[in-house]
Amino acid sequence: KMHHYIMSWGTDVAKNKKFFNNIIRQVIRYTYTSIRHQSCNKVARDSGGVCDLQACSVLWLGMHAFRTVLSKKPAVYGGTILRSLQFQLSLHHNKPLKHRFKKVVKEGVKDVPAL
């Protein structure tokens, strides 16, 4: 969906790398906030729902998901956004997350060819 919007805007991804990186981070943060908010509503509380997600985990998983999906269009995102996402994912403080979510990522990536 994001790729379609970018193409319809006619925006040069390479010139607006920072803008698109910020959008990706905001989408991930919004998703995290939405999950946390839903887990605190009356229905969730009455059902005994608990949400112990950590923001850093959701951010890492979200960046990985964006990188995986956008890597299907390397001509558009290869030299800019993908490189930035790969760098952020490879930072030393993210190594434990990579190992922790190895199984989740493996299961998610197997469905990507269907996109």
- Kindly list the domain boundaries of the chain, sorted by start residue: 2-110
Q: Evaluate if residue 5 carries a pLDDT over 70.
A: yes
Q: Evaluate if residue 7 carries a pLDDT over 80.
A: yes
Q: Evaluate if residue 75 carries a pLDDT over 70.
A: yes
What is the average pLDDT score of the chain? Answer: 87
Of the chain, the end-to-end C-alpha distance in Å amounts to 11
Which residues are CB-contacts of 61 (< 8 A; sequence separation ≥ 6)? 97, 101, 104, 105
Q: Evaluate if residue 94 carries a pLDDT over 80.
A: yes
pLDDT of 4:
83
pLDDT of 48:
81
CA max distance for the chain: 49
Amino acid at 45: R
Cα–Cα distance between 90 and 93 in angstroms, integer?
Answer: 8
Q: Evaluate if residue 112 carries a pLDDT over 80.
A: no
Q: Evaluate if residue 93 carries a pLDDT over 80.
A: yes
Q: In this predicted model, which residue has the larger pLDDT, 62 or 1?
A: 62
In angstroms and rounded to an integer, the radius of gyration of the C-alpha atoms of the chain is 16
- Give the pLDDT band (50/70/90) at residue 114: low
Per-residue pLDDT tens digits for 17-66: 899 999 999 999 999 999 888 888 888 888 887 778 899 999 999 999 99
Provide the strand spans (E) within the chain. none
